Amino acid sequence: MSSVHDNAPIGVFDSGVGGLTVAREIMRQLPDESLIYFGDTARVPYGTKSKDTVIRYSRQIVNFLLSKNVKAIVIACNTASALAMHKLQQEYIVPMIGMVRPGAIAAARATKNHHIGIIGTNATVKSGQYGKYLRELNPDVTVVTKACPLFVPLVEEGLIDDRITEDMVSRYLREFDQYQIDSLILGCTHYPLLQNPIKNFVGDNVTLINPAYETAKSLRELLKEREMEAESGHTAEYHYYVSDMEDQFLSFADRVLPCHVEKVQPIDIERY
């Protein structure tokens, strides 16, 4: 096998800042890879938008990332993965990877009683994509879903270990009790940051599935398979772009990422 190296960056995009949990996993698992991150902070949240709108936004972002010569694209947003990925893969030749499939595969592997819970935004839950993949992997699976729209603002306000958050976790998740789920997919990029309060509530018998972690793992396999990995020891560069609210982005990035973000560049995404 020839050892072809490709030091071009990987494009990562999300409706806002939550996708930084995916960027964090890529930095940890693929330390030689450069990243270009785009957060659509002007038009967040995607979870309440129609499918057509999410596809249009995602298309503009892919065009922007391709203008930066990315070699692959990670859709670090569960909503865009569920609603737009299939269409984008038909329209572009750049390899693309979303959140839904890796998360579903991990949950199907983890479950013992085939009762799987999924929490996410309204759009992700309504799309039914996680359930669709899970049933393809195992037709006998019982899938229980719950939209948890208030988790995102709580995370962005930094209220991770807060009484309010504990109350919301219990309010949203208590109905899972009756279904005896043993795996729970954190189907929104913000939710891994609430891992502690969620774990405290659901207990040790429920395995939490973090699609951000699984997506980085799938990306590593994809790059290897296609011989697109960066050279070992290549100095990775990280560049960040947003459509609005640079200050909020920087303060959130500092809480989430393993490295300090010096600057983020605002761009007019509508131009793409």
In angstroms, the CA 146 to CA 127 distance is 12
Which of these is catalytic: 188, 193, 209, 242? 188
Decide if 259 is catalytic: no
Is residue 237 exposed (0-12), middle (13-18) or buried (19+ Cβ within 10 Å)? exposed
Q: Which residue ranges are tagged as binding site for substrate?
A: 14-15, 46-47, 78-79, 189-190
Decide if 188 is catalytic: yes
Is residue 50 exposed (0-12), middle (13-18) or buried (19+ Cβ within 10 Å)? exposed
- Provide the angle, in degrees to the nearest 10, between the axes of the packed helices 129-137 and 100-110: 50
End-to-end CA distance of the chain: 38
In angstroms, the CA 205 to CA 181 distance is 9
Return the amino acid letter for 29.
Q
**E strands, 107-255, where?**
115-120, 142-147, 183-187, 207-209, 238-242
The residues with which 239 forms a beta bridge, in sequence order, are: 36
The position carrying tokens 């109905």 is 175
CA atoms in the 13 A half-sphere facing the CB of 189: 34
Which of these is catalytic: 23, 62, 77, 100? 77
Question: Does residue 22 contact residue 216 with C-beta atoms inside 8 Å?
Answer: yes
Q: Would you call the peptide bond into 9 cis, given omega within 30 degrees of 0 as the criterion? A: no
Q: Which residue ranges are tagged as binding site?
A: 14-15, 46-47, 78-79, 189-190
**Could you tell me how far CA 9 lies from the centroid of its own chain?**
18
Active site residues per annotation: 77, 188
